[in-house]
Amino acid sequence: MSIESIKNSQNLVIALAQTNPHVGALQKNIDQMVEFAKHAKREGADIVLFPELSLTGYPPEDLLLRPGFLQQVEDGMQQLVEAADEISLVVGHPLRDRSGLLYNAATLLRGQKIEMSYCKQELPNYGVFDEKRYFARGDAPVLFEHKGKSIAITICEDLWHQKVMQQISNAGADLVLNLNASPYHAGKRGDREEIIRKRIGESGIPVVYVNQVGGQDELIFDGGSFVMNGEGEKIVCGEFFTEGLYIYDSAEEYLCLSAHSVDDPEGDQELSEIYQALILAVKDYVGKNGFPGVVLGLSGGIDSALTLAIAVDALGADNVEGVAMPSRYSAQMSVEDAEIEANVLGIDFRIIPIKQTFDAFMDTLSDEFDGYGVDATEENIQARCRGVILMAIANKKNRMLLTTGNKSEMSVGYATLYGDMAGGFAPLKDISKLLVYRLAEWRNRQAKERGQDEVIPQRVIDRPPSAELAPDQKDSDSLPPYEILDQILERYIEQEQCAEEIIDAGFGSEVVNRIIGMVNGNEYKRRQAPPGAKITTRAFGRDRRYPITSGFRSR
Protein backbone atom coordinates (compact mmCIF):
# COMPACT_ATOMS: atom_id res chain seq x y z
CA MET A 1 0.00 0.00 0.00
CA SER A 2 1.48 3.39 -0.99
CA ILE A 3 1.92 6.36 1.34
CA GLU A 4 -0.47 8.36 -0.85
CA SER A 5 -3.23 5.80 -0.43
CA ILE A 6 -2.69 5.88 3.33
CA LYS A 7 -3.16 9.64 3.28
CA ASN A 8 -6.41 9.31 1.43
CA SER A 9 -7.68 6.46 3.55
CA GLN A 10 -10.70 6.94 5.83
CA ASN A 11 -9.48 4.09 8.01
CA LEU A 12 -7.78 4.50 11.34
CA VAL A 13 -4.09 5.18 10.76
CA ILE A 14 -1.66 5.04 13.69
CA ALA A 15 2.01 6.05 13.64
CA LEU A 16 4.37 4.21 16.00
CA ALA A 17 7.06 6.72 17.02
CA GLN A 18 10.03 4.63 18.10
CA THR A 19 12.09 7.39 19.71
CA ASN A 20 15.43 7.58 21.49
CA PRO A 21 14.81 10.01 24.36
CA HIS A 22 17.50 11.56 26.55
CA VAL A 23 16.63 11.07 30.22
CA GLY A 24 16.02 14.42 31.89
CA ALA A 25 16.53 16.48 28.72
CA LEU A 26 12.88 17.48 28.52
CA GLN A 27 13.11 20.21 25.91
CA LYS A 28 15.20 18.02 23.64
CA ASN A 29 12.67 15.21 24.00
CA ILE A 30 9.74 17.57 23.36
CA ASP A 31 11.36 18.94 20.20
CA GLN A 32 11.96 15.39 18.99
CA MET A 33 8.36 14.37 19.67
CA VAL A 34 7.02 17.41 17.85
CA GLU A 35 9.12 16.52 14.81
CA PHE A 36 7.86 12.93 14.90
CA ALA A 37 4.28 14.22 15.16
CA LYS A 38 4.80 16.44 12.11
CA HIS A 39 6.25 13.51 10.19
CA ALA A 40 3.32 11.29 11.20
CA LYS A 41 0.86 13.97 10.10
CA ARG A 42 2.55 14.18 6.69
CA GLU A 43 2.14 10.42 6.38
CA GLY A 44 -1.61 10.74 6.96
CA ALA A 45 -1.73 9.31 10.50
CA ASP A 46 -4.65 10.05 12.82
CA ILE A 47 -2.74 9.20 16.01
CA VAL A 48 0.97 9.10 16.86
CA LEU A 49 1.91 6.78 19.70
CA PHE A 50 5.06 7.45 21.76
CA PRO A 51 6.86 5.09 24.19
CA GLU A 52 6.47 4.85 27.96
CA LEU A 53 7.66 7.99 29.81
CA SER A 54 8.77 9.35 26.45
CA LEU A 55 8.67 12.92 27.75
CA THR A 56 11.27 12.27 30.45
CA GLY A 57 13.06 9.25 29.04
CA TYR A 58 13.13 5.94 30.89
CA PRO A 59 14.07 5.40 33.65
CA PRO A 60 14.19 8.90 35.20
CA GLU A 61 14.89 7.35 38.62
CA ASP A 62 15.19 9.86 41.48
CA LEU A 63 14.65 12.82 39.19
CA LEU A 64 11.03 11.92 39.89
CA LEU A 65 11.53 12.95 43.52
CA ARG A 66 12.42 16.52 42.57
CA PRO A 67 9.40 18.89 42.53
CA GLY A 68 11.19 21.17 40.06
CA PHE A 69 11.57 18.32 37.61
CA LEU A 70 7.89 17.44 37.84
CA GLN A 71 6.98 21.07 37.23
CA GLN A 72 9.06 21.01 34.05
CA VAL A 73 7.16 17.87 33.01
CA GLU A 74 3.84 19.66 33.44
CA ASP A 75 5.09 22.68 31.51
CA GLY A 76 6.37 20.37 28.78
CA MET A 77 3.00 18.70 28.41
CA GLN A 78 1.50 22.09 27.55
CA GLN A 79 4.00 22.44 24.71
CA LEU A 80 2.95 19.05 23.35
CA VAL A 81 -0.71 20.02 23.55
CA GLU A 82 -0.03 22.66 20.91
CA ALA A 83 1.31 19.98 18.57
CA ALA A 84 -1.98 18.06 18.77
CA ASP A 85 -3.78 20.20 16.21
CA GLU A 86 -4.50 17.98 13.19
CA ILE A 87 -3.15 14.80 14.75
CA SER A 88 -3.73 13.16 18.14
CA LEU A 89 -0.79 12.27 20.39
CA VAL A 90 -0.54 9.54 23.01
CA VAL A 91 2.35 10.56 25.26
CA GLY A 92 4.04 8.73 28.14
CA HIS A 93 4.90 10.93 31.14
CA PRO A 94 4.84 11.14 34.95
CA LEU A 95 1.48 12.47 36.17
CA ARG A 96 1.09 14.13 39.57
CA ASP A 97 -2.46 14.33 40.87
CA ARG A 98 -3.90 16.94 43.21
CA SER A 99 -3.11 14.87 46.28
CA GLY A 100 0.55 14.66 45.29
CA LEU A 101 0.53 11.02 44.18
CA LEU A 102 2.67 10.29 41.14
CA TYR A 103 1.65 7.92 38.35
CA ASN A 104 3.33 6.41 35.32
CA ALA A 105 0.81 7.72 32.83
CA ALA A 106 -0.13 7.93 29.17
CA THR A 107 -2.18 10.90 28.06
CA LEU A 108 -4.28 11.44 24.94
CA LEU A 109 -3.76 14.91 23.46
CA ARG A 110 -6.44 15.70 20.89
CA GLY A 111 -7.71 18.93 19.43
CA GLN A 112 -5.02 20.83 21.31
CA LYS A 113 -6.45 19.64 24.61
CA ILE A 114 -5.51 17.11 27.27
CA GLU A 115 -8.43 14.76 26.80
CA MET A 116 -7.74 11.86 29.17
CA SER A 117 -4.97 10.05 31.01
CA TYR A 118 -4.38 6.39 31.81
CA CYS A 119 -2.33 5.37 34.86
CA LYS A 120 -0.24 2.20 34.70
CA GLN A 121 -1.72 -0.55 36.85
CA GLU A 122 1.05 -3.16 36.96
CA LEU A 123 4.26 -1.62 38.33
CA PRO A 124 7.31 -3.87 37.89
CA ASN A 125 9.55 -4.08 40.92
CA TYR A 126 12.13 -6.70 40.01
CA GLY A 127 15.43 -6.89 38.14
CA VAL A 128 16.26 -3.41 36.85
CA PHE A 129 12.78 -2.08 37.67
CA ASP A 130 11.82 -0.26 40.85
CA GLU A 131 8.68 1.59 39.81
CA LYS A 132 6.98 1.11 43.18
CA ARG A 133 9.61 3.42 44.63
CA TYR A 134 8.13 6.28 42.63
CA PHE A 135 4.64 5.54 41.36
CA ALA A 136 1.20 4.80 42.70
CA ARG A 137 -0.88 2.19 40.87
CA GLY A 138 -3.73 2.98 38.57
CA ASP A 139 -6.87 0.92 39.00
CA ALA A 140 -9.05 1.27 35.91
CA PRO A 141 -8.91 0.98 32.13
CA VAL A 142 -9.15 4.04 29.90
CA LEU A 143 -10.72 3.92 26.42
CA PHE A 144 -11.39 6.54 23.80
CA GLU A 145 -13.25 6.58 20.49
CA HIS A 146 -11.68 7.40 17.16
CA LYS A 147 -13.17 6.77 13.71
CA GLY A 148 -15.70 4.37 15.15
CA LYS A 149 -13.18 2.28 17.05
CA SER A 150 -12.93 1.91 20.81
CA ILE A 151 -9.24 2.17 21.70
CA ALA A 152 -7.65 1.23 25.04
CA ILE A 153 -4.37 2.61 26.37
CA THR A 154 -1.98 0.40 28.35
CA ILE A 155 1.62 0.73 29.49
CA CYS A 156 4.29 -1.96 29.19
CA GLU A 157 3.95 -4.38 32.15
CA ASP A 158 0.15 -4.10 32.02
CA LEU A 159 0.02 -6.57 29.14
CA TRP A 160 2.23 -9.07 30.95
CA HIS A 161 -0.82 -9.67 33.17
CA GLN A 162 -4.05 -11.27 32.05
CA LYS A 163 -6.16 -9.11 34.40
CA VAL A 164 -5.58 -5.86 32.54
CA MET A 165 -6.42 -7.33 29.15
CA GLN A 166 -9.57 -8.82 30.64
CA GLN A 167 -10.60 -5.36 31.88
CA ILE A 168 -10.07 -3.94 28.40
CA SER A 169 -12.01 -6.75 26.77
CA ASN A 170 -14.90 -6.33 29.19
CA ALA A 171 -14.96 -2.61 28.40
CA GLY A 172 -15.46 -3.39 24.71
CA ALA A 173 -12.10 -2.36 23.25
CA ASP A 174 -11.47 -2.92 19.52
CA LEU A 175 -7.77 -2.06 19.68
CA VAL A 176 -5.07 -1.77 22.35
CA LEU A 177 -2.26 0.78 22.35
CA ASN A 178 0.71 -0.33 24.47
CA LEU A 179 3.50 2.13 25.36
CA ASN A 180 6.80 0.48 26.31
CA ALA A 181 10.26 1.12 27.66
CA SER A 182 11.30 -2.51 27.58
CA PRO A 183 15.05 -3.04 28.11
CA TYR A 184 16.96 -5.45 25.94
CA HIS A 185 18.57 -8.71 26.88
CA ALA A 186 19.46 -11.57 24.59
CA GLY A 187 16.26 -13.40 23.66
CA LYS A 188 13.95 -10.64 24.94
CA ARG A 189 12.36 -10.09 21.53
CA GLY A 190 10.80 -13.54 21.52
CA ASP A 191 9.60 -13.15 25.11
CA ARG A 192 7.75 -9.93 24.31
CA GLU A 193 6.06 -11.29 21.24
CA GLU A 194 5.03 -14.47 23.04
CA ILE A 195 3.39 -12.49 25.85
CA ILE A 196 1.51 -10.16 23.51
CA ARG A 197 0.40 -13.09 21.36
CA LYS A 198 -0.90 -14.78 24.52
CA ARG A 199 -2.91 -11.69 25.50
CA ILE A 200 -4.36 -11.49 21.99
CA GLY A 201 -5.22 -15.17 22.15
CA GLU A 202 -7.23 -14.53 25.31
CA SER A 203 -9.09 -11.53 23.91
CA GLY A 204 -8.89 -11.44 20.11
CA ILE A 205 -7.99 -7.73 20.31
CA PRO A 206 -5.17 -6.38 18.10
CA VAL A 207 -2.24 -4.67 19.87
CA VAL A 208 -0.14 -1.72 18.72
CA TYR A 209 3.15 -2.04 20.61
CA VAL A 210 5.66 0.84 20.55
CA ASN A 211 9.02 0.51 22.30
CA GLN A 212 11.73 2.99 23.23
CA VAL A 213 15.15 2.67 21.60
CA GLY A 214 18.58 3.80 22.82
CA GLY A 215 21.14 3.39 25.57
CA GLN A 216 20.57 4.69 29.09
CA ASP A 217 23.41 4.02 31.51
CA GLU A 218 23.55 0.20 31.79
CA LEU A 219 20.26 -0.35 29.98
CA ILE A 220 19.76 -0.78 26.25
CA PHE A 221 16.35 -0.32 24.64
CA ASP A 222 16.16 -2.12 21.32
CA GLY A 223 12.95 -0.79 19.77
CA GLY A 224 11.43 -3.47 17.56
CA SER A 225 7.96 -1.92 17.76
CA PHE A 226 5.21 -3.95 16.14
CA VAL A 227 1.51 -4.41 15.51
CA MET A 228 -0.22 -7.78 15.94
CA ASN A 229 -3.66 -8.40 14.51
CA GLY A 230 -6.44 -10.29 16.26
CA GLU A 231 -4.92 -13.61 15.17
CA GLY A 232 -1.57 -12.82 16.76
CA GLU A 233 0.18 -12.19 13.42
CA LYS A 234 2.69 -9.36 13.13
CA ILE A 235 1.55 -6.96 10.43
CA VAL A 236 3.94 -4.10 11.22
CA CYS A 237 7.46 -4.64 12.48
CA GLY A 238 9.85 -1.84 13.34
CA GLU A 239 13.61 -1.90 13.11
CA PHE A 240 15.80 -2.81 16.04
CA PHE A 241 18.41 -0.52 17.63
CA THR A 242 17.45 2.56 15.63
CA GLU A 243 14.80 5.27 15.70
CA GLY A 244 11.93 5.12 13.27
CA LEU A 245 8.33 5.96 12.46
CA TYR A 246 6.09 3.05 11.44
CA ILE A 247 2.60 3.32 10.00
CA TYR A 248 -0.32 1.03 10.77
CA ASP A 249 -3.56 1.24 8.77
CA SER A 250 -6.42 -0.72 10.34
CA ALA A 251 -7.73 -1.68 6.90
CA GLU A 252 -4.51 -3.38 5.83
CA GLU A 253 -3.96 -7.01 6.79
CA TYR A 254 -0.29 -7.00 5.88
CA LEU A 255 1.59 -3.71 5.86
CA CYS A 256 5.28 -3.35 6.63
CA LEU A 257 6.95 -0.02 5.90
CA SER A 258 10.69 0.49 6.43
CA ALA A 259 10.78 -2.51 8.71
CA HIS A 260 13.86 -4.65 9.04
CA SER A 261 15.20 -7.13 11.55
CA VAL A 262 18.82 -7.66 12.51
CA ASP A 263 18.86 -11.17 11.11
CA ASP A 264 22.38 -12.19 10.15
CA PRO A 265 22.99 -13.89 6.80
CA GLU A 266 25.11 -16.52 8.57
CA GLY A 267 22.21 -17.31 10.88
CA ASP A 268 23.97 -15.82 13.93
CA GLN A 269 21.02 -13.64 14.87
CA GLU A 270 21.82 -13.61 18.58
CA LEU A 271 25.41 -12.45 17.98
CA SER A 272 24.21 -9.80 15.55
CA GLU A 273 21.70 -8.50 18.09
CA ILE A 274 24.22 -8.43 20.93
CA TYR A 275 26.82 -6.65 18.83
CA GLN A 276 24.35 -4.01 17.68
CA ALA A 277 23.20 -3.59 21.28
CA LEU A 278 26.79 -2.93 22.38
CA ILE A 279 27.28 -0.40 19.58
CA LEU A 280 24.15 1.48 20.63
CA ALA A 281 25.16 1.37 24.30
CA VAL A 282 28.58 2.89 23.61
CA LYS A 283 27.26 5.47 21.14
CA ASP A 284 24.56 6.76 23.47
CA TYR A 285 26.55 6.62 26.71
CA VAL A 286 29.43 8.57 25.20
CA GLY A 287 27.25 10.95 23.18
CA LYS A 288 24.54 11.68 25.74
CA ASN A 289 27.20 12.43 28.35
CA GLY A 290 28.80 14.99 26.06
CA PHE A 291 32.12 13.34 25.19
CA PRO A 292 33.51 13.86 21.68
CA GLY A 293 35.31 10.51 21.65
CA VAL A 294 37.00 7.75 23.62
CA VAL A 295 40.42 6.36 24.46
CA LEU A 296 41.23 2.77 25.42
CA GLY A 297 44.23 0.63 26.16
CA LEU A 298 45.17 -1.92 23.49
CA SER A 299 46.94 -4.88 25.06
CA GLY A 300 47.01 -7.07 21.99
CA GLY A 301 44.47 -9.34 23.69
CA ILE A 302 41.03 -10.29 22.51
CA ASP A 303 39.04 -8.16 24.99
CA SER A 304 40.64 -4.87 23.99
CA ALA A 305 40.48 -5.86 20.30
CA LEU A 306 36.72 -6.46 20.49
CA THR A 307 36.18 -3.28 22.53
CA LEU A 308 38.09 -1.33 19.89
CA ALA A 309 35.94 -2.72 17.07
CA ILE A 310 32.75 -1.84 18.97
CA ALA A 311 34.01 1.68 19.71
CA VAL A 312 34.90 2.37 16.08
CA ASP A 313 31.60 0.95 14.82
CA ALA A 314 29.75 3.10 17.36
CA LEU A 315 31.65 6.38 17.13
CA GLY A 316 33.77 6.34 13.98
CA ALA A 317 37.54 5.92 13.74
CA ASP A 318 38.23 9.66 14.08
CA ASN A 319 36.72 9.62 17.57
CA VAL A 320 38.73 6.70 18.96
CA GLU A 321 42.30 6.62 20.24
CA GLY A 322 44.16 3.44 21.19
CA VAL A 323 47.22 3.22 23.40
CA ALA A 324 49.55 0.24 23.75
CA MET A 325 51.49 0.28 27.04
CA PRO A 326 53.96 -2.60 26.97
CA SER A 327 55.83 -3.72 30.08
CA ARG A 328 58.87 -5.92 30.37
CA TYR A 329 56.52 -8.91 30.30
CA SER A 330 54.61 -7.92 27.16
CA ALA A 331 55.21 -10.15 24.16
CA GLN A 332 56.32 -8.40 21.00
CA MET A 333 53.37 -9.95 19.19
CA SER A 334 51.02 -8.16 21.61
CA VAL A 335 52.29 -4.76 20.52
CA GLU A 336 52.29 -5.85 16.87
CA ASP A 337 48.70 -7.07 17.07
CA ALA A 338 47.54 -3.89 18.80
CA GLU A 339 49.11 -1.85 16.00
CA ILE A 340 47.53 -4.07 13.33
CA GLU A 341 44.09 -3.62 14.91
CA ALA A 342 44.57 0.14 15.08
CA ASN A 343 45.75 0.39 11.46
CA VAL A 344 42.94 -1.80 10.06
CA LEU A 345 40.32 0.32 11.82
CA GLY A 346 42.08 3.59 11.07
CA ILE A 347 42.32 5.04 14.58
CA ASP A 348 44.90 7.29 16.20
CA PHE A 349 47.43 4.98 17.90
CA ARG A 350 50.23 5.47 20.43
CA ILE A 351 52.82 3.22 22.06
CA ILE A 352 53.77 4.35 25.58
CA PRO A 353 56.00 1.85 27.43
CA ILE A 354 55.45 1.73 31.19
CA LYS A 355 58.90 0.53 32.31
CA GLN A 356 60.07 3.96 33.37
CA THR A 357 56.81 4.71 35.20
CA PHE A 358 56.86 1.33 36.94
CA ASP A 359 60.49 1.69 37.98
CA ALA A 360 59.69 5.11 39.46
CA PHE A 361 56.94 3.60 41.59
CA MET A 362 59.20 0.78 42.74
CA ASP A 363 61.97 3.22 43.64
CA THR A 364 59.52 5.36 45.60
CA LEU A 365 58.22 2.32 47.49
CA SER A 366 61.56 0.56 47.97
CA ASP A 367 61.86 1.35 51.69
CA GLU A 368 58.20 0.50 52.30
CA PHE A 369 58.57 -2.84 50.51
CA ASP A 370 61.91 -3.75 52.13
CA GLY A 371 61.74 -7.25 53.58
CA TYR A 372 58.71 -8.28 51.54
CA GLY A 373 58.88 -10.66 48.60
CA VAL A 374 57.50 -10.04 45.12
CA ASP A 375 53.78 -10.87 44.84
CA ALA A 376 50.62 -9.61 43.12
CA THR A 377 51.37 -6.09 44.35
CA GLU A 378 53.93 -5.56 41.62
CA GLU A 379 51.50 -6.90 39.03
CA ASN A 380 48.83 -4.49 40.22
CA ILE A 381 51.23 -1.54 40.09
CA GLN A 382 51.80 -2.27 36.40
CA ALA A 383 48.05 -2.21 35.76
CA ARG A 384 47.73 1.00 37.78
CA CYS A 385 50.52 2.65 35.80
CA ARG A 386 48.45 2.00 32.71
CA GLY A 387 45.32 3.29 34.40
CA VAL A 388 47.02 6.57 35.35
CA ILE A 389 48.35 7.05 31.82
CA LEU A 390 44.98 6.38 30.19
CA MET A 391 43.08 8.59 32.60
CA ALA A 392 45.58 11.39 32.01
CA ILE A 393 45.06 11.14 28.25
CA ALA A 394 41.30 11.02 28.72
CA ASN A 395 41.37 14.12 30.95
CA LYS A 396 43.69 16.09 28.71
CA LYS A 397 41.76 15.34 25.50
CA ASN A 398 38.28 15.34 27.08
CA ARG A 399 37.67 11.77 25.96
CA MET A 400 35.91 9.02 27.85
CA LEU A 401 38.08 6.08 28.87
CA LEU A 402 36.60 2.72 27.93
CA THR A 403 37.58 -0.27 30.04
CA THR A 404 37.96 -3.63 28.34
CA GLY A 405 37.26 -6.23 31.05
CA ASN A 406 34.66 -8.95 30.51
CA LYS A 407 32.05 -10.51 32.80
CA SER A 408 34.06 -13.64 33.52
CA GLU A 409 36.94 -11.57 34.87
CA MET A 410 34.69 -9.19 36.80
CA SER A 411 32.84 -12.11 38.35
CA VAL A 412 35.93 -13.56 40.03
CA GLY A 413 37.85 -10.34 40.56
CA TYR A 414 40.47 -11.04 37.90
CA ALA A 415 41.00 -7.31 37.44
CA THR A 416 42.86 -4.49 39.19
CA LEU A 417 41.08 -1.71 41.03
CA TYR A 418 42.30 1.69 39.78
CA GLY A 419 44.16 -0.16 37.04
CA ASP A 420 42.42 -1.91 34.18
CA MET A 421 39.11 -1.21 35.96
CA ALA A 422 39.65 2.56 35.74
CA GLY A 423 37.38 4.23 33.22
CA GLY A 424 33.99 5.63 32.37
CA PHE A 425 32.20 2.78 30.62
CA ALA A 426 32.72 -0.98 30.27
CA PRO A 427 31.20 -2.30 27.01
CA LEU A 428 32.04 -5.95 27.82
CA LYS A 429 30.98 -5.88 31.47
CA ASP A 430 28.11 -8.31 30.83
CA ILE A 431 29.88 -10.36 28.13
CA SER A 432 31.39 -13.69 29.19
CA LYS A 433 34.84 -14.63 27.92
CA LEU A 434 33.51 -17.32 25.60
CA LEU A 435 30.99 -14.87 24.19
CA VAL A 436 33.85 -12.43 23.60
CA TYR A 437 35.45 -15.02 21.34
CA ARG A 438 32.19 -15.67 19.51
CA LEU A 439 31.59 -11.95 18.94
CA ALA A 440 35.16 -11.46 17.72
CA GLU A 441 34.77 -14.25 15.18
CA TRP A 442 31.37 -12.89 14.11
CA ARG A 443 32.84 -9.41 13.60
CA ASN A 444 35.62 -10.85 11.46
CA ARG A 445 33.05 -12.70 9.34
CA GLN A 446 31.20 -9.43 8.80
CA ALA A 447 34.42 -7.80 7.61
CA LYS A 448 35.12 -10.67 5.24
CA GLU A 449 31.62 -10.46 3.74
CA ARG A 450 32.25 -6.78 3.02
CA GLY A 451 35.59 -7.53 1.37
CA GLN A 452 37.51 -5.97 4.27
CA ASP A 453 40.48 -7.17 6.32
CA GLU A 454 39.74 -8.98 9.57
CA VAL A 455 39.59 -6.43 12.38
CA ILE A 456 40.83 -8.87 15.03
CA PRO A 457 43.96 -10.82 13.99
CA GLN A 458 43.42 -14.55 14.06
CA ARG A 459 46.36 -15.15 16.34
CA VAL A 460 44.73 -12.87 18.92
CA ILE A 461 41.78 -15.27 18.89
CA ASP A 462 43.98 -18.37 18.87
CA ARG A 463 46.62 -17.53 21.51
CA PRO A 464 45.99 -18.36 25.19
CA PRO A 465 44.71 -15.28 27.07
CA SER A 466 47.16 -13.59 29.43
CA ALA A 467 47.32 -10.47 31.58
CA GLU A 468 51.08 -10.31 30.82
CA LEU A 469 51.94 -8.98 34.27
CA ALA A 470 54.44 -11.73 35.13
CA PRO A 471 56.81 -14.04 33.19
CA ASP A 472 54.96 -16.52 30.93
CA GLN A 473 51.66 -15.68 32.66
CA LYS A 474 48.40 -17.18 31.40
CA ASP A 475 44.82 -16.77 32.67
CA SER A 476 44.72 -20.54 33.20
CA ASP A 477 47.37 -20.15 35.93
CA SER A 478 44.78 -18.45 38.13
CA LEU A 479 41.46 -19.61 36.71
CA PRO A 480 39.93 -22.85 35.47
CA PRO A 481 39.45 -23.09 31.69
CA TYR A 482 36.85 -20.59 30.52
CA GLU A 483 34.80 -23.49 29.10
CA ILE A 484 34.25 -24.56 32.72
CA LEU A 485 34.38 -21.19 34.44
CA ASP A 486 31.72 -19.57 32.27
CA GLN A 487 29.26 -22.41 32.79
CA ILE A 488 29.67 -22.24 36.57
CA LEU A 489 29.32 -18.46 36.54
CA GLU A 490 26.18 -18.57 34.42
CA ARG A 491 24.57 -21.06 36.78
CA TYR A 492 25.56 -19.17 39.92
CA ILE A 493 25.01 -15.57 38.77
CA GLU A 494 22.33 -15.64 36.10
CA GLN A 495 20.39 -18.74 37.16
CA GLU A 496 20.92 -18.21 40.92
CA GLN A 497 21.81 -21.88 41.46
CA CYS A 498 23.43 -22.85 44.75
CA ALA A 499 26.69 -24.79 45.00
CA GLU A 500 24.93 -28.13 45.46
CA GLU A 501 22.89 -27.67 42.29
CA ILE A 502 25.98 -26.80 40.26
CA ILE A 503 27.90 -29.77 41.66
CA ASP A 504 24.95 -32.06 40.95
CA ALA A 505 25.07 -30.84 37.32
CA GLY A 506 28.49 -32.49 36.98
CA PHE A 507 31.03 -29.89 38.10
CA GLY A 508 33.71 -30.71 40.66
CA SER A 509 32.97 -29.56 44.19
CA GLU A 510 36.43 -28.05 44.69
CA VAL A 511 36.30 -25.82 41.62
CA VAL A 512 32.65 -24.86 42.24
CA ASN A 513 33.28 -23.77 45.82
CA ARG A 514 36.45 -21.95 44.80
CA ILE A 515 34.70 -20.01 42.05
CA ILE A 516 31.70 -19.14 44.23
CA GLY A 517 34.10 -17.92 46.92
CA MET A 518 35.84 -15.70 44.38
CA VAL A 519 32.51 -14.27 43.17
CA ASN A 520 31.34 -13.53 46.70
CA GLY A 521 34.69 -12.10 47.79
CA ASN A 522 34.96 -9.58 44.99
CA GLU A 523 31.69 -7.68 45.32
CA TYR A 524 33.69 -4.70 46.60
CA LYS A 525 35.55 -4.53 43.29
CA ARG A 526 32.42 -4.71 41.18
CA ARG A 527 30.80 -1.95 43.23
CA GLN A 528 33.66 0.34 42.16
CA ALA A 529 33.63 -0.69 38.50
CA PRO A 530 32.29 1.62 35.79
CA PRO A 531 28.80 0.99 34.42
CA GLY A 532 28.54 -1.33 31.46
CA ALA A 533 26.03 -2.52 28.89
CA LYS A 534 23.47 -5.06 30.13
CA ILE A 535 22.80 -7.90 27.68
CA THR A 536 21.90 -10.84 29.98
CA THR A 537 19.02 -11.40 32.36
CA ARG A 538 21.34 -10.88 35.35
CA ALA A 539 23.98 -8.21 34.92
CA PHE A 540 26.23 -6.72 37.59
CA GLY A 541 25.11 -3.30 38.75
CA ARG A 542 21.48 -2.25 39.06
CA ASP A 543 20.30 -5.72 38.00
CA ARG A 544 22.22 -7.78 40.60
CA ARG A 545 22.63 -6.05 43.94
CA TYR A 546 24.44 -7.96 46.67
CA PRO A 547 25.90 -6.65 49.93
CA ILE A 548 29.65 -6.09 50.03
CA THR A 549 29.85 -7.12 53.68
CA SER A 550 28.12 -10.47 53.99
CA GLY A 551 28.59 -13.66 55.95
CA PHE A 552 26.41 -15.73 53.62
CA ARG A 553 27.97 -18.82 52.12
CA SER A 554 26.29 -20.79 49.33
CA ARG A 555 25.84 -24.52 49.96
Cα 444 to Cα 94: distance, rounded to the nearest angstrom: 45
Q: Is 303 annotated as a binding residue?
A: yes
Q: Is 297 annotated as a binding residue?
A: yes
Q: Is 293 annotated as a binding residue?
A: no
Cα 33 to Cα 10: distance, rounded to the nearest angstrom: 25
H or E segment to which residue 341 belongs: helix 332-345
Residue 188 neighbours by CB distance under 10 Å: 17
Which residues are annotated as catalytic?
Answer: 52, 120, 156
For residue 59, cis peptide bond before it (omega within 30 degrees of 0) = yes
Q: Is 307 annotated as a binding residue?
A: no
What phi and psi, each to the nearest 5 degrees, are found at residue 95? -125, 120
Q: Is 301 annotated as a binding residue?
A: yes
Q: Is 525 annotated as a binding residue?
A: yes
Sequence-separated (6 or more) residues with CB below 8 Å from residue 212: 18, 19, 20, 21, 51, 52, 54, 58, 180, 181, 182, 221, 223
Q: Is 380 annotated as a binding residue?
A: yes
Contact 185, 218 (CB under 8 A): no
Cα 161 to Cα 143: distance, rounded to the nearest angstrom: 18
Q: Is 429 annotated as a binding residue?
A: no
Q: Is 537 annotated as a binding residue?
A: no
Q: Tell me, what amino acid is at 261?
A: S
Q: What CA–CA distances, in Å, run from 295 to 12, 98, 361, 398, 402?
A: 50, 49, 24, 10, 6
DSSP-assigned beta bridge partners for residue 400: 294
Cα 57 to Cα 512: distance, rounded to the nearest angstrom: 41
What phi and psi, each to the nearest 5 degrees, are found at residue 124? -70, 140
Please write down the long-range contacts of 339-342, taking CB distance under 8 Å and 24 or more positions apart: 340/457, 341/298, 341/305, 341/308, 341/309, 341/455, 341/456, 341/457, 341/460, 342/298, 342/308
Q: Helix (H, G, I), strand (E, B), or coil: what is residue 119? A: strand
Contact 3, 41 (CB under 8 A): no
Q: Is 9 annotated as a binding residue?
A: no
Dihedral angle at the C-alpha atoms of 41, 47, 49, 53, nearest 10 degrees?
A: 100
Q: Is 364 annotated as a binding residue?
A: no
Q: Is 113 annotated as a binding residue?
A: no
The DSSP output letter for 493 is I
DSSP-assigned beta bridge partners for residue 227: 208, 236
Q: Is 433 annotated as a binding residue?
A: no
- Residues marked as binding for L-glutamine? 126, 182, 188
- Residues marked as binding for deamido-NAD(+)? 380, 409, 525
- Residues marked as binding? 126, 182, 188, 297-304, 380, 404, 409, 525
- Residues marked as binding for ATP? 297-304, 404
